[in-house]
Amino acid sequence: MLPTNIQTDRQGRLRHFLTIDGLSRGLLTEILDIAAGFAGVAAQAVKKVPLCRGKIVTNLFFETSTRTRTTFELAAKRLSADVLNLNISTSSTVKGETLLDTLRNLEAMHVDMFVVRHSDSGAAHFIAQHAAPHISVINAGDGRHAHPTQAMLDMYTIRHHKGDFGRLRVAIVGDVLHSRVARSQIAALNTLGTAEVRVIGPRTLIPSDARELGVHVFHDLTEGIRDVDVIIMLRLQRERMRGAMLPSEQEYFQLFGLTEERLGAAKPDAIVMHPGPINRGVEMDSQVADGPRSVILQQVSFGIAVRMAVIAMTLGAQSGHPGDGLDG
């Protein structure tokens, strides 16, 4: 397991946000509570607050992800921070400059935060360990390891619709093996005291140590989602699969695709979630994706508020005072 103690300062405040592992229920709840305070900013005539004015947030994306990068950019700008988007495909790293060289050059520009997305597990931890002391690092997804802000926006969505985690059954369906989102979701759900967490999928796409993560494992979709309150569908990540892990996407949909008929096994008020992008006709059909129980687009909207909260909290810890004192 990657080290987690660098995430908080001596006062227990969030200094970096790299993984859910090792963080307390109180700290996760604080993120959700602060996000709730930011949720109304989008409805304002001027969609900005001055908390991070004068700060520079750098989006350091070694992997493409339009949705994640855009929501981080919007979150930082709504906090009145300046945003630097580094296009890695045209940067000096392609010309032979090392990652540490790139970090040192950015540090010389007096940036305050790196938002890092990388195909290698542990990349965000590496950057946090080698960055200058005044710089905060947020993990926007690293390999198959973690995607903590996605997990927290999912937790925010669940709490918004369902309230107390202690009475909920939550099912995570699909390619759990290759999903950094699923690992972060499981950690967050268990830390927040969820009554039961289930993972559902074919044997080839469920980690062999899944039960050690504190979940119940199912290989039948209907049985797995029976009487659950929340269903989180995952994308099939073909780009991370090696070998023939699935016969075909059509067969996968026949066995594990969510349809209105199969959704009937869940509770009548169950919500359907997906971190995106959706493969329609593979993970779920359009009737479910666009149906009344889908909260997928709300997840995207809530993601901005959650990322605002994480940015404000981490920059607040680096400044030596809480996030509500970041103005100026």
Among candidate residues 95, 147, 93, 87, the one with its CA nearest the CA of residue 119: 147
Give the pLDDT score at 66: 83
C-alpha 144 chain-centroid distance = 12
In the prediction, which pLDDT does 2 show? 53
Same domain, 318 and 273: no
Residues 213, 77: one domain? no
Helix spans in 9-168 (H): 25-38, 66-78, 99-107, 123-130, 148-162
Q: What pLDDT score does 101 carry?
A: 86
User: Which is higher by pLDDT, 103 or 294?
Assistant: 294
251, 193: one domain = yes
Per-residue pLDDT tens for 178-215?
Answer: 999 999 999 999 999 999 999 999 999 999 999 999 99
**What is the maximal distance between C-alpha atoms in the chain?**
57
Claim to verify: residue 114 and residue 208 sit in the same structural domain: no
Q: Buried (b) or exposed (e) across 247-273, using 16+ Cβ within 10 A?
A: eeeeebbeebbbeeebbebbeeebbbb
Regarding whether 216 and 281 lie in a shared domain, the answer is yes
User: Span 170-176, mean pLDDT?
Assistant: 96
**pLDDT tens for residues 24-72?**
999 999 999 999 999 999 888 889 999 999 999 999 998 878 889 999 9
Residue 166 and residue 92 share a domain:
no
Q: Are residues 68 and 204 part of one domain?
A: no
State which residues form the domain around 278. 148-296
190 and 66 housed in the same domain: no
| pLDDT tens string 105-156 | 899 999 999 999 998 889 999 999 999 999 999 999 998 899 999 999 999 9
Confidence band, pLDDT 50/70/90 cuts, at residue 89: low
Are residues 136 and 237 both part of a single domain? Answer: no
Report pLDDT for 246. 67
User: Residue 3: what pLDDT?
Assistant: 53
> For the segment 243-278, what is each residue's pLDDT rounded down to a tens digit?
446 668 889 999 999 999 999 999 999 999 999 889
pLDDT tens, residue by residue, 145-169? 999 999 999 999 999 999 999 999 9
Distances in whole angstroms, Cα of residue 153 to Cα of each of 29, 68, 87, 236, 273? 12, 11, 25, 20, 11
pLDDT of residue 289: 97
* N-terminal to C-terminal alpha carbon distance within the chain: 38
Query: Which stretch of 62-66, 217-221, 291-295, 299-303 has the lowest confidence by average pLDDT?
Result: 62-66
pLDDT of residue 125: 95
The CATH number assigned to the domain holding 153 equals: 3.40.50.1370
Q: In angstroms, rounded to a whole number, what is the distance separating the alpha carbons of residues 16 and 127? A: 11
Q: Are residues 185 and 256 in the same domain?
A: yes
Report which of residues 9 and 323 the model is more confident about: 9
Query: Are 179 and 213 part of one and the same domain?
Result: yes
pLDDT at position 97 over 70: no
- Decide: residue 37, CB within 10 A, 0-12 exposed, 13-18 middle, 19+ buried: middle
What is the SS3 assignment for 238-281?
Answer: HHHCCCCCCCCHHHHHHHHCECHHHHCCCCCCCEEECCCCCCEC
Check residue 243 and give its pLDDT. 45
Q: Say if residue 321's pLDDT is above 80.
A: no
Residue 72 shares a structural domain with residue 84: yes
Domains identified in the chain, total number: 2
pLDDT for residue 222 is more than 60: yes
Q: What is the mean pLDDT of residues 282-309?
A: 96
Pairing of strands 196-200, 113-118: unpaired
Residue 77 pLDDT > 70: yes
Q: What local confidence, expressed as pLDDT, does residue 128 receive?
A: 95
**Higher-scoring residue by pLDDT: 94, 103:** 103
